[in-house]
A and B are shown apart, each in its own frame.
Chain A
C-alpha cells in the first residue's frame, strides 16, 4: 500500500505538487488524468523516490520514503527522461538490469519481451529501434521483475492499436497478480476503462 501524506514539492520557488493526500491500494489500477503540466509525472516521481518532497511524505508499507528507505523496495517504472543502453539489444538490456536485484530469470526476461510483442531473440541494438518498439521495451523493463508497484507514465505513447491491446492485457494480468498500478496519461480513451479509480490532477493538486 502506498500512502501519500500532505505531499508538496517546490521547484525553484513554484509548487508543482500541492498538498496531496491519497492512499493507493494493492490489486487496483489507478489512472491519473489531467492537462499537460498538471503534475502527473511529478507525482509519479515522488512515489518512485526520484524527488525529495518539500513537505509531507510518501509511506510504502509503513516505511517512510527518504527516511526509512531511499526507494520503494519493489517497483517497476516508465517515466520521462529514462533511457536504456542504446548499444545493446533488448534482451541484454534487461539481463544487465536483472543483475541488480537478481529476482528475474532468463526465461522471465524472454517472457516479458514476448508479452509486449517484441521478438525475445531479436539481436537489433536498441538505438536502431523505432519509437514504439522502444516504448514496448520500456514496458517490458517495468514488468519483468514482477514488482509490487508499477508506475507507468504515458505507457501507450507511440504504441499502435495492436500494442495498446497488449498493454491492456498486461495491465489486467499484473492487477490479478496483486500489483498496485498507477497510470498517468493526458488522453483518457486508451486506458480509462481499465482503471478502477480515475483521479484528476490540476495545477499540482489532486481533485477528488
Chain B
C-alpha cells in the first residue's frame, strides 16, 4: 500500500536540508557527508556537527516507515481470508521496504549531486561500495523498526530505533579504543565511510570494523530480522 504523498515529500525535503547544511558547515568530506557519516574523533563538537547532518534523513526515512505494518494489516485481513499466504505477505512487505529505501537513497544521491554536496570520488568503485553500505545499514535499521513494530507497536518502535541510532553513534565514538566486539552491534557505523574504512582521511581515527565484515554483519542481521518476522506471522493474532 502506498503512503500518503506528503510523507514522501517530507523525506525528499530532509535530503534537501541535509544538502544545504552540509554545504553550509563546510566540514571535510571524502565522498559526501551522507556516505561518510560521522568520524571517530576526540573532538565532541565535530561529532555533533557531523551527526546533525547525517542523522536528518535517517530520522525522516524511519518516520516514513513508522506505522507501515499497522496500516497494511487492515488490508491484509481481506487477503488472508482468501488463503493468501501470511509468510509470503510479510516477506513482500520487507521487499517493498527495500525497494522504497533504495529509491530514497537514489533520490538522495541525486539531490546531493545537484547541490554539489558530494565529491567526484563517489563514482569510484569504493564510492559505490560506500553507497551500498549506506543503503544496507539504513535498510537494516528499517528492518529492525518493522520487526519491533510487531512486538511493541509503531510509536515505541520508532522511538527505540531512533534512540539506538543516536546512542550507538555517540557510544561507539567514546569506545573507539576498547570493547571491539561491541562495535559489531553498532549498525549505523557499518554504513559510514569514516567508520568502515571506505572514506580515506588522515584527520580522523581509524575504523574498528572493516566494511567487508560490516557488510556480512548487516546481511546477517537482515536475514535474522526478516526470518523472525516471517515466522511470527504464523502464530500471530490479527486483531
Contacts and interface: CB of A to CB of B under 8 A. Distances in A.
B79 interface: yes
A48 B1 contact: no
A77 B81 contact: yes
A81 B1 contact: no
Contacts of B73: 81
Contacts of B238: 45, 50-51
Chain A interface bracket (under 10, 10 to 19, 20 to 34, 35 or more): 20 to 34
A100 B79 contact: yes
A50 B83 contact: no
B82 A70 contact: no
28 contacts: A11-B237, A45-B238, A48-B81, A49-B81, A50-B80, A50-B81, A50-B237, A50-B239, A51-B238, A51-B239, A52-B235, A52-B236, A52-B237, A70-B83, A70-B86, A70-B234, A75-B81, A77-B78, A77-B81, A81-B239, A82-B74, A82-B75, A87-B2, A97-B79, A97-B82, A100-B84, A101-B83, A145-B82
Interface string A8-49: 000100000000000000000000000000000000010011
Given A73-B83, A100-B84, A79 B77 contact: yes
A80 to B, nearest CB: 8
Contacts of A85: 1, 75
A141 interface: yes
Contact of A50 (B1, B77, B234): B77
A68 interface: no
A45 B239 contact: yes
A140 B47 CA distance: 58
B3 to A, nearest CB: 11
A84 interface: yes
A83 interface: yes
Nearest to B77: A82
Interface in B55-71: none
A73 B81 CA distance: 8
A52 B239 CA distance: 11
Contacts of B86: 70
A61 to B, nearest CB: 14
Interface string B195-239: 000000000000000000000000000000000000000111111
Given A81-B74, A83-B74, 6 more contacts: A45-B239, A50-B237, A50-B239, A52-B235, A81-B73, A97-B79
A51 B237 contact: yes
Contacts of B78: 77, 82-84, 97, 141
B89 to A, nearest CB: 11
A79 B76 CA distance: 12
A71 B83 contact: yes
Contacts of B80: 49-50, 71
A152 to B, nearest CB: 13
A204 interface: no
Interface string A88-105: 000000000100110000
B33 to A, nearest CB: 36
A72 interface: yes
Contacts of A75: 81
B83 A81 contact: no
Nearest to B83: A71
Nearest to B238: A50
Given A51-B238, A70-B86, A84 B81 contact: no
A71 B80 CA distance: 7
Contacts of B84: 100
A51 B86 CA distance: 13
Contacts of A51: 237-239
A66 to B, nearest CB: 9
A166 B83 CA distance: 28
B79 to A, nearest CB: 6
Given A81-B77, A82-B77, A100 B237 contact: no
Contacts of B77: 50, 77, 79, 81-82
